[in-house]
Amino acid sequence: MQTEKLLMIPGPSPVHPRILNSLSLPTVSHVSPELSEELKEALAALKKIVFCERGEPFIVAGAGTLAMEMALLNTIEKGERFLVLSQGFFGQRMELIGKSFGLDCDLIESEWGKAVLPEELEKKLSEKVYKAVVSTHVDTATGACAPEKDYAEVLKDNDAVFIIDGVCATGGIEERMDDWGLDVILTAAQKCFGVPPGLAILVVSEKAMEKRRSMNAIPAYYSDLLNWLPIMKDPSKYFSTPCVNEIRAFHESTKIILEEGVERRFSRHAQIALAIRRALAELGFSFFTEEPFLADTLSVVRYPDGIEDKPFRSTFSNNGIVVAGGLGETAGKVFRMGHMGNLSVSQVFFALDALERTLSSLNYKFEEGSGVQAAKKVLEE
């Protein structure tokens, strides 16, 4: 009987035992030297993970949506216009957040399964002035990965602040803040960092910090980066009580990332994504996301004939693997499988074996072992 399940939804991702153990460390004082040291180390590691030397890192209690809100409120003033490059659900959310604070926003929307092309951004910038451009690196609903480096190239000589939502990418897919000229990378703990949900995380360039300083009061207090900056510089100071144990867990996660090596971590994500996709294709599944936009952190998978969404996901879960259903227009037609964070190769094999067992019990015809073999070929290369 299967009791423990492997969480392969597109976040939260599986939590490594070292991170789980660090959650059970004592709840020390939030201004103690222990926590102060760990937060400082985590902040320094965060900058390394996004290749940033000059910007300011922030880690506060919250979630990805809070980080989205913080990014917008600290860089865009009322009366200024920003542009969202949206390839799905979370680009639309950026627009909603902006609207709820009365900010003016235009949207370029790609079809679901694709991303906005750099040429479309270039054209839009020639038509209007934008104070910020916002892009979702990987949209978790569609599995599409946006060409952030190419967008950054288009934005090179533009004054707009360039904000990237890296909730489903940062720490798993390359984001080179200084070299590419990114101004805000926002993310959360529960995806490529492999930490339980509970943190809003940002790295903010000097240009974006300048923008915040040039603004007067902003419609935020907890979300005001200027209230957090002194704490990030010296975590023994108080602004609002941080989530001590979650920070200890995040600190452990950054240690794991640096031990693995950031570049090697990106390669592992790419290799595991390819292995899983080869296995799924071998078994007759196809992909919702178009080929050039496939993300290394999750797959959005269409069912072959004869496989229905609900029985598939419930049998897969009984066999130990939890995947998510489709969102919006894809509901019932696809499943979404996360492959990010600290997912190991042996966990991938366990998942693919469970997938084959699931297909067998649903009386689907396929060559037994062929999915696992297809993945093995990639992982043993």
Exactly one of 5, 18, 65, 227 binds ligand PLP (CB under 6 A); that residue is 65
| 231 in Cβ contact with 247 (< 8 Å) | no
Please identify the residue of the shown chain whose CB is closest to the bound ligand PLP: 64
Query: Could you tell me whether strands 132-136 and 161-165 are parallel, antiparallel, or unpaired per DSSP bridges?
Result: parallel
Does the footprint of ligand PLP cover residue 64 (CB under 6 A)?
A: yes
| 80 in Cβ contact with 66 (< 8 Å) | no
Does the footprint of ligand PLP cover residue 11 (CB under 6 A)?
A: yes
Part in contact with ligand PLP (CB under 6 A); list of ranges 59-67, 302-310, 324-332, 373-381: 59-67
Does the footprint of ligand PLP cover residue 358 (CB under 6 A)?
A: no
Does the footprint of ligand PLP cover residue 370 (CB under 6 A)?
A: no
Closest CA to 60 of 215, 186, 151, 209: 186
Does the footprint of ligand PLP cover residue 323 (CB under 6 A)?
A: no
Least distance from ligand PLP to the Cβ atom of residue 199, Å: 9
Does the footprint of ligand PLP cover residue 373 (CB under 6 A)?
A: no
Does the footprint of ligand PLP cover residue 168 (CB under 6 A)?
A: yes
CA 365, chain centre distance (Å): 35
Q: Is 142 or 205 the residue whose CB approaches ligand PLP more closely?
A: 142
What Å distances lie between residue 182 and 149, 160, 364, CA to CA?
Answer: 9, 10, 47
Least distance from ligand PLP to the Cβ atom of residue 186, Å: 8
Q: Is 172 or 371 the residue whose CB approaches ligand PLP more closely?
A: 172
Exactly one of 46, 49, 52, 167 binds ligand PLP (CB under 6 A); that residue is 167
Does the footprint of ligand PLP cover residue 136 (CB under 6 A)?
A: yes
Show the tokens assigned to 267.
């390669």
Q: Is 250 or 282 the residue whose CB approaches ligand PLP more closely?
A: 250
Does the footprint of ligand PLP cover residue 338 (CB under 6 A)?
A: no
Count of residues of this chain found to bind ligand PLP when the rule CB under 6 A is applied: 13
Q: What 3-state DSSP class applies to 260?
A: helix
Does the footprint of ligand PLP cover residue 297 (CB under 6 A)?
A: no
Q: What 3-state DSSP class applies to 105?
A: strand
User: Rg for the chain (alpha carbons), in Å?
Assistant: 21
Which amino acid type is present at position 291? E
Rounded Cα distance between 13 and 213, Å, is 36
Show the tokens assigned to 36.
């102060």
| 257 in Cβ contact with 193 (< 8 Å) | yes
Q: Is 22 or 140 the residue whose CB approaches ligand PLP more closely?
A: 140
| 102 in Cβ contact with 96 (< 8 Å) | no
Show the tokens assigned to 115.
């991303």
Exactly one of 8, 19, 160, 188 binds ligand PLP (CB under 6 A); that residue is 188
β-bridge partners, 335: 301, 325
Exactly one of 56, 69, 148, 165 binds ligand PLP (CB under 6 A); that residue is 165
Rounded Cα distance between 286 and 301, Å, is 6
Q: Is 11 or 235 the residue whose CB approaches ligand PLP more closely?
A: 11
Exactly one of 58, 82, 90, 288 binds ligand PLP (CB under 6 A); that residue is 90
| 139 in Cβ contact with 116 (< 8 Å) | no
Does the footprint of ligand PLP cover residue 70 (CB under 6 A)?
A: no
Part in contact with ligand PLP (CB under 6 A); list of ranges 57-65, 99-107, 320-328, 329-337: 57-65
Part in contact with ligand PLP (CB under 6 A); list of ranges 31-39, 161-169, 318-326, 367-375: 161-169
**Angle, in degrees to the nearest 10, between helices 206-214 and 225-233:** 130
Rounded Cα distance between 97 and 86, Å, is 14
Query: Could you tell me whether strands 334-338 and 298-302 are parallel, antiparallel, or unpaired per DSSP bridges?
Result: antiparallel
Residues 203-232 that bind ligand PLP (CB under 6 A): none
Does the footprint of ligand PLP cover residue 246 (CB under 6 A)?
A: no
Q: Is 288 or 358 the residue whose CB approaches ligand PLP more closely?
A: 288
Whether residue 197 is preceded by a cis peptide bond, meaning omega within 30 degrees of 0, is: no
Residues near ligand PLP (CB under 6 A):
11, 63-65, 68, 90, 136, 139-140, 165, 167-168, 188
